[in-house]
Amino acid sequence: MEVERYEEIFLGIAGVVLLRFLAALFYAAFGMHIHMMGFAGTIDPAKIAQTPPFDHPGVRQVAPGKYEAVIIGRAWSFSPKTIEVPAGADITFLATSMDVDHGFYVQGTRINMMLLPGQISRMTYRFEEPGTYMLLCHEYCGLGHQFMYGRIVVK
Ligand code: CUA
Report the atom number in ligand 1 closest to the C-alpha of 73. Answer: 1
In the chain, pLDDT over 90 holds for what percent of residues?
A: 86
Q: Ligand 1 mean position to 129 CA, how many Å? A: 27
Rounded distance, CA 85 to CA 71, Å?
A: 13
Rounded distance, CA 58 to CA 79, Å?
A: 8
Q: How far is CA 59 from CA 33, 72, 80, 89, 91, in A?
A: 24, 12, 9, 12, 9
Task: Give the predicted TM-score (pTM) of the model.
Answer: 0.77
SS3 139: coil
Q: Ligand 1 mean position to 102 CA, how many Å? A: 5
**Which residue puts its alpha carbon closest to atom 1 of ligand 1?**
102
Sheet holding 112-115, edge to edge: 82-85, 149-154, 131-136, 102-106, 112-115
Closest CA to 75 of 96, 44, 98: 98
Question: What average pLDDT does the chain have?
Answer: 93
Q: Would strands 38-42 and 119-126 be described as parallel, antiparallel, or unpaired?
A: antiparallel
Which one-letter DSSP state was computed for residue 122?
E
Residues flanking ligand 1, CB < 6 Å: 76, 102-103, 137, 139-141, 145, 148
Q: What are the tens digits of pLDDT across the range 37-68? A: 667 789 998 999 899 999 999 999 999 999 99
Report the atom number in ligand 1 closest to the C-alpha of 139. Answer: 2
- pLDDT tier, 29 (very low <50, low <70, confident <90, very high otherwise): confident
Q: Ligand 1 mean position to 92 CA, how many Å? A: 21
Report the atom number in ligand 1 closest to the C-alpha of 75. Answer: 1
Rounded distance, CA 77 to CA 136, Å?
A: 10
Q: Ligand 1 mean position to 117 CA, how many Å? A: 12
What is the model's pLDDT at position 148? Answer: 97
Report the atom number in ligand 1 closest to the C-alpha of 101. Answer: 1
Could you write out the DSSP letters of every residue in 8-71? Answer: HHHHHHHHHHHHHHHHHHHIIIIIS---PPEEEEE--GGGGGGSTTTTS-EEEEEETTEEEEEE
